[in-house]
Structure 1
Amino acid sequence: MKLHQLQALVASAEAGSIRGAARTLGLSQAAVTRALRELETSQGLPLLVRATEGISLTEYGKVLLTHAKLALNQLSRAQNELARLRGRSEERLSIGITPWITLTFLTETVLSFRQRMPNVRLELFESLMAVAQPLLRTGDMDFAIGPLHSSAAMQEFACEPILTYETAILVRDGHPRQACRSIHDLLDQDWVLNFARDGRETLLEYLFYRHGAMIDEQRIVRAQSLGMQQILVENADMCTWCPAIIAAAPSFRIPLRALSLKERFEPIGLSIITRRNGTLSSAARCFVECLLQAIRRHARSARKEDVALFETLTLLA
């Protein structure tokens, strides 16, 4: 496989046509077509389905596309970092941030990072893992700060633990079931949860099945942003499961209540998550250092707000 062939594959998949790929790459359609045919010939596999309305990828093509994106992103990052060291270019850093970190430590972290590395272009995602994992896989995200649940994900990604945090079942204040003391009393309610595509069974086992609670899975809505969870909890009386600290977050218009259930939920680990065998750039390592410094400052603080914060958090290092 050659670099220009992988570039042709990625551009064609993103544009949906050879013409669009040629325009993106600044090449002729004939050159893009030739690169794709050479790639298919070298692999001995059909990678594209060609039709009058455009192109689509075969299953073989989809698999190769993931690796092609990762390879091109890694090469681009290496070139950018070398150029930055020569003082000729800006570096881009793309990070997934779990929402409760956004509500607590993110502002301090970003301000500190910008002072130390003002020329790095910073891109932040609200990183519920359903969003982060595909971007990590293709290299479109450098790393994520969040939990890693499923065993499959643990095999694919590497994680460096930072802290653990308590979780709780949350409902809006005034919810008709807010006095419930068992998850069994909530099985007839609608739920809004977030999970990666391969993490559904792990989460359902953690929340329900191990407690003998057999919920109708049709009652569960999968949301891919904190905002969606917020709206459905506030306006549709849905139950959710979140870090306990979310209940005190000022961004929620309606107060949330953490239910005191007899079922116990073990603390969740928050980690720096990267592709296995991947390496962090100097900018990425700097951002992690700034985050850890911000967390430690709050952990040492005697302010009432910080003391309350660390009632649900345990710093590991």
Structure 2
Amino acid sequence: MKLHQLEALVASADAGSIRAAARALGLSQAAVTRALRELEANERLPLLIRAPEGIGFTEHGKVLLTHARLVLNQLEHAQSDLERLRGRVEGRLMIGITPWVTLTFLAEAVLLFRKQMPEIRLELFEGLMAVAQPLLRDGSMDFAVGQLQPATGAQEFACEPLLTYESSVMVRAGHRQERARSIHDLLEEDWVLNFPPDGQAGLIDYLFTRHGAEIEERRIVRAQSVAMLQTMVEQAEMCTWSPTILSRVPPFGGRLRSLALREHFEPRQLGIVTRRNSTLSSAAACFVDCFMKVIRRHARSAKKEDLALFETLELLI
């Protein structure tokens, strides 16, 4: 298995055809075709499905494609670290950020990081974990600041805890159930939630089943962005379950109501989520350090807004 073969495989997947992959790589179509055929011959497995409208991948090809992306991304990180040691700090850093962190600590962390590593091309991704996990899995994303669901492959990802945060059931201000006091009062309402593909059962158990409540699955809408969650809560009268801190910061403060239910929901952990056994690049480690400095500064602050934030947060570091 050779590097140029893996590059041809990934480029073909990204471009959708061998011809487009050849253009992206600056090679001839014959060279890319030859690299892919050699890869299939070496592995003695069919990897590609060739069709007039483009190419697809067999199950074998999909597995190899995931590993190929990881290899190429790790090589890019290695190159960036070597350039840093030569005195040239450059490279790319892609981070998934859970939305409530975006609204609180992110801007300060980014400013501090850019002072220390101004040459790094920083790419920030709204990191609801259901969205971030595939990008972490294939190595496109360096790490995510978020919460790793217990149901999601503990063998696949690792999480370094930073703090705990309270979560609560929420509705829009003025919702007919604004004064509800039990999860049982909300079983006839529609809900909008975010969860990874293998996380629905765990979330339903956490919110409903363990409290002796049952909800029809048809009542649950799965949303993949905060904008969708917000729209469904404010305009479609849906209930949601979110970090309590969202009800205290713009643009949600005053627009969302955290319900005082008698059911207890344990605090969740926010941490640095990475692929298990992966190594953070120097740029990634620097960003994590900047982020932790910002959080600690706010935790020590006596400002009214910071005291309000840390009523729902507890540092673990």
TM-score interval (norm. to shorter): over 0.9
Q: CA deviation at 1:89?
A: 5.6
Q: CA deviation at 1:12?
A: 0.8
Q: How does 1:219-230 map to 2 (within 5 A)?
A: 219-230=219-230
Paired residue for 1:167?
167
Paired residue for 1:236?
236
Q: CA deviation at 1:309?
A: 0.8
Paired residue for 1:287?
287
Paired residue for 1:115?
115
Q: How does 1:186-265 map to 2 (within 5 A)?
A: 186-252=186-252, 255-265=255-265
1:182 is aligned with what amino acid?
S
Whether 2:36 is the aligned partner of 1:14: answer no
Separation in structure 2 between the aligned mates of residue 196 and residue 10 of structure 1, nearest angstrom: 25
Post-superposition Cα deviations, 1:103-161, rounded to whole Å, max 9, x if no partner, equal: 11111111111111111111111100011100001111000000001334322111110
Separation in structure 1 between the aligned mates of residue 263 and residue 75 of structure 2, nearest angstrom: 48
Separation in structure 2 between the aligned mates of residue 256 and residue 89 of structure 1, nearest angstrom: 43
In structure 2, stretches of 5+ residues that fail to align are: none
Q: What secondary structure sits across from 1:306 in the alignment? A: helix
Q: Which runs of 4+ in 1 moved over 3 A?
A: none
Q: CA deviation at 1:200?
A: 1.5
Q: How does 1:125-164 map to 2 (within 5 A)?
A: 125-164=125-164
2:313 is aligned with what amino acid?
L
Aligned residues: 317
Separation in structure 2 between the aligned mates of residue 131 and residue 151 of structure 1, nearest angstrom: 15
Separation in structure 2 between the aligned mates of residue 53 and residue 150 of structure 1, nearest angstrom: 40
Q: What secondary structure sits across from 1:154 in the alignment? A: coil
Q: What secondary structure sits across from 2:176 in the alignment? A: coil
Whether 2:75 is the aligned partner of 1:55: answer no
In structure 1, stretches of 5+ residues that fail to align are: none
Separation in structure 1 between the aligned mates of residue 6 and residue 41 of structure 2, nearest angstrom: 13
Q: What secondary structure sits across from 1:69 in the alignment? A: helix
Separation in structure 2 between the aligned mates of residue 103 and residue 154 of structure 1, nearest angstrom: 28
Separation in structure 2 between the aligned mates of residue 311 and residue 215 of structure 1, nearest angstrom: 31
Separation in structure 1 between the aligned mates of residue 94 and residue 215 of structure 2, nearest angstrom: 37
Q: CA deviation at 1:253?
A: 8.0
Q: CA deviation at 1:170?
A: 0.5
Separation in structure 2 between the aligned mates of residue 23 and residue 228 of structure 1, nearest angstrom: 37
2:229 is aligned with what amino acid?
Q
Separation in structure 2 between the aligned mates of residue 143 and residue 290 of structure 1, nearest angstrom: 14
2:188 is aligned with what amino acid?
D
CA contact (8 A) 1:162 1:269 kept: yes
Q: What secondary structure sits across from 2:154 in the alignment? A: helix
CA contact (8 A) 1:234 1:254 kept: no
Separation in structure 1 between the aligned mates of residue 254 and residue 294 of structure 2, nearest angstrom: 28
Q: How does 1:56-95 map to 2 (within 5 A)?
A: 56-88=56-88, 90-95=90-95
Separation in structure 2 between the aligned mates of residue 301 and residue 152 of structure 1, nearest angstrom: 35
Paired residue for 1:44?
44
Paired residue for 2:100?
100
CA contact (8 A) 2:109 2:294 kept: yes
CA contact (8 A) 1:191 1:240 kept: yes
1:306 is aligned with what amino acid?
D
Q: What secondary structure sits across from 1:108 in the alignment? A: helix
Separation in structure 2 between the aligned mates of residue 172 and residue 249 of structure 1, nearest angstrom: 14
Separation in structure 2 between the aligned mates of residue 293 and residue 218 of structure 1, nearest angstrom: 43
Q: CA deviation at 1:191?
A: 0.8
Separation in structure 1 between the aligned mates of residue 284 and residue 274 of structure 2, nearest angstrom: 11
1:16 is aligned with what amino acid?
G
State the superposition RMSD in angstroms: 1.2
**TM-score, normalising length from structure 2?**
0.97
1:11 is aligned with what amino acid?
A
2:106 is aligned with what amino acid?
L
CA contact (8 A) 1:19 1:29 kept: yes
